[in-house]
Amino acid sequence: MGNVTILVGAQWGDEGKGKWIDILAKDSDIVARYQGGNNAGHTLYVDGEKVVLHQIPSGIFQDKTCALTAGVVVNPSQLVDEIQKVAHHTKLTPSNLWLSARAHVITPWHIYLDGKREAESDQPIGTTKRGIGPTYAEKANRTGLRLGDYVDEARRKQWLEMMTKRFPEFSANLKNQAADWEAFHGAASALGPYVVDAEAKLRADVKAGKRLLLEGAQGALLDINHGTYPFVTSSSTAAGGAFSSLGLSPRYIDKIYGVAKAYLTRVGEGPFPTELFDDTGKKMAEKGHEFGATTGRPRRCGWLDGVALRYCVDANGFDGIILNKMDILSDFDELKIAVAYEHPELGEIKDFPWSFEVLKDCKPIYKTVKGWSGDIPNSGSMDQLPQEALDYIKEIEQIIDAPVSHVGTGVNRQDALFR
């Protein structure tokens, strides 16, 4: 049996992964983030205090060793701020926070490009404008700045000279965003001691039998290869992305969990067949406090999409689905789950289409189940749920052909039900 667990968002992000990383980290030795950047916001409640982590893995509050690996992109000055922000909860040192020398660095230039392209595009993606896409693009172009080079002043200077020669706008950006560049350079000495060959250390620990929990950001439907392209993020959010980020053999994998809300949300642009524009959608948004942890943007809300969730199960090999925010669905007279789509030209579609052009014209075909009223249990066993809630879970399991292994019932780490 393997000793590595992967946790993946099973929708369009914002599923509540941070809380479950925090819970599962208790039984792990190391927690490693394998992709994304500070466009992700993982919200936790620690001793009653709300903490939003953007780059540090969510297992840090269980006093575990944490790592950012090669597939991650790092905003240095914001990471320094985040390390300082959590200092009163837990002290981070080079012994318990490893930053991969292979991870690529987000610079003020990349943030500028992100905002510029989004503003000028005829078809904006709805990015967080954090510089994520341009940083990954620079990585693919083989002209990016890796963290190991960033913390070396001479190599950082070489990169700046190269960029100045390549891009006429770059010199102007250095002047126009002088304060941001100053903070960028200032963070290098603070992060230097944390920068290591994180992948080699992780592989050695896994071989030695230590338990590793891999934390994904965003969600599988935003995967650059398998998501609703082009309305996706710039990294491989699916479980397979973890292997390439760590240079880790799949043979070590024990469990892969997908986190999904009991309904569905999406931030930014892109097709969303089950989106609601009525009072029911407003009720979901208000009860669920559906605003982005990173941007504050309101999330679009809709019924659970069983077609999309089944696709994520197949594409990731989930051993179990963690169904979050079941408490939000209390006091709805009826609940709906999309079991197929109806397309004006293609007719009934049972499989998630590869083309967003097809998906945007799809209307959901629903299965309706009876809702429940009143509060549900906060902790304990899933068997304690009202019968209607159990029936809802059973319908989901049949539609997606995968078990629901855990249920989330609130924001705190103890608000969890287990099979």
Contacts of 271 (CB under 8 A, 6+ apart): 228, 231, 356, 359, 360, 362
Which of 14, 223, 305, 415 is catalytic? The answer is: 14
The verdict on whether residue 271 carries a ligand-binding annotation is no
The verdict on whether residue 17 carries a ligand-binding annotation is yes
The span from the CA of 292 to the CA of 130, in Å, is 14
- Is residue 42 among the annotated active site residues? yes
The span from the CA of 261 to the CA of 351, in Å, is 20
The verdict on whether residue 96 carries a ligand-binding annotation is no
The span from the CA of 33 to the CA of 18, in Å, is 11
Which of 64, 110, 139, 226 is catalytic? The answer is: 139
End-to-end Cα spacing for the chain? 21
Tokens representing 118 are 């989004």
- With the C-alpha atoms ordered 387, 391, 392, 394, is the resulting torsion angle positive or negative? positive
The verdict on whether residue 409 carries a ligand-binding annotation is yes
- With the C-alpha atoms ordered 217, 221, 222, 225, is the resulting torsion angle positive or negative? positive
The verdict on whether residue 142 carries a ligand-binding annotation is yes
The verdict on whether residue 65 carries a ligand-binding annotation is no
For residue 265, how many C-alpha atoms fall within 13 Å in the half-sphere facing its CB?
29
The verdict on whether residue 288 carries a ligand-binding annotation is no
Which of 22, 42, 64, 129 is catalytic? The answer is: 42
Contacts of 287 (CB under 8 A, 6+ apart): 328
The verdict on whether residue 294 carries a ligand-binding annotation is yes
The verdict on whether residue 19 carries a ligand-binding annotation is yes
The verdict on whether residue 261 carries a ligand-binding annotation is no
Backbone torsions φ then ψ of 102, nearest 5 degrees: -85, -15
The verdict on whether residue 42 carries a ligand-binding annotation is yes
The verdict on whether residue 327 carries a ligand-binding annotation is yes
Rounded (10°) CA dihedral 13, 18, 19, 22: 150
Tokens representing 381 are 């066993």
- Is residue 350 among the annotated active site residues? no
The verdict on whether residue 325 carries a ligand-binding annotation is yes
The verdict on whether residue 90 carries a ligand-binding annotation is no
The span from the CA of 32 to the CA of 149, in Å, is 21
- Is residue 383 among the annotated active site residues? no
Contact 266, 299 (CB under 8 A): yes
The verdict on whether residue 218 carries a ligand-binding annotation is yes
The verdict on whether residue 298 carries a ligand-binding annotation is yes
Q: Which residues are part of a known binding site for GTP?
A: 13-19, 41-43, 299, 325-327, 408-410
Binding-site sequence positions for substrate: 293-299
Active site residues: 14, 42, 139
Binding residues for Mg(2+): 14, 41
Binding-site members are: 13-19, 39-43, 128, 142, 218, 233, 293-299, 325-327, 408-410
Annotated binding site for IMP: 14-17, 39-42, 128, 142, 218, 233, 297
